[in-house]
Every structure is written in structure tokens, then in C-alpha cells.
Amino acid sequence: MKKSKNKDDQSAIRKLGVVASFVSVVMYVSYLPQIMDNLAGAKANPIQPTVAMINCTCWVIYAYFKEERDWPIVIANLPGIIFGAVAFLTSLQVNFRLTISRMHYII
């Protein structure tokens, strides 16, 4: 009876891991509206996506290089690196056309 309960517990934990990985990916994909706003000129603060990107990078390195690779952690955090980096970079985007038009007035 004890082995059956342990097997059920492990099955429940695996299911929870799948759900948690899916929610993690959705959380990082939710940066898309911020990225689109950044590209449209409504710049957001870059701190949160930068910290998320650093955190995800640490988790991916940990999960990949530990003795037994933890692929669910790697897969769940890779989108955080990508979308965090894109959100950060687009929040720093410079409008070069505006800079060039201002230079025209100086010259």
C-alpha cells in the first residue's frame, strides 16, 4: 500500500511540474505587450525584465550543469532569458530618426 501511495504522490508531483513549467513560460511570454509598447515608443522600466533575465539565466545554468540535468527547469526558464533580454533591449531603444532630425537643426 505504501508503494502505491508514493507512486501516486510522484505522479501528482510530475503533473504539478508540467503545470508549473507551462505557467512559467506563459509568465515570460507575457512580456510581449511590454515589448510592443516599448517599440511603439511608450518605454517601460527595464529593471524587472533584466532581473528576471538574470534569475532565469542562473536557473538554466544550475539545471543544465548539475549532475542529473533538470530539463523542466531549463525549458521553463529559457523563455525568461529571451523575452527578458528583448524587453530590456527594446526599453533602451533609441529613436535614430529623431536624433538625426535634431542634428539637422544644429548644422
User: Position of cell 523575452?
Assistant: 83
- Quote the pTM value: 0.75
Q: How far is the C-alpha of 106 from the C-alpha of 60, rounded, in Å? A: 48
- The pLDDT confidence band at residue 105, using thresholds 50, 70 and 90, is low
pLDDT at 14: 87
Q: Which of 44-48, 78-82, 100-104 has the highest mean pLDDT?
A: 78-82
pLDDT digits (tens, 9 = 90+) for 70-95: 998 999 999 999 999 999 999 985 55
Cα(43)–Cα(91) distance, rounded to whole angstroms? 5
Q: Is 3 helix (H, G, I), strand (E, B) or coil?
A: helix
Comparing CA positions, the residue from 50, 26, 23 lying closest to residue 38 is 50
Q: Which of the pair, 39 or 4, is modelled with greater confidence?
A: 39
Output the nine-digit C-alpha cell for 74: 531549463
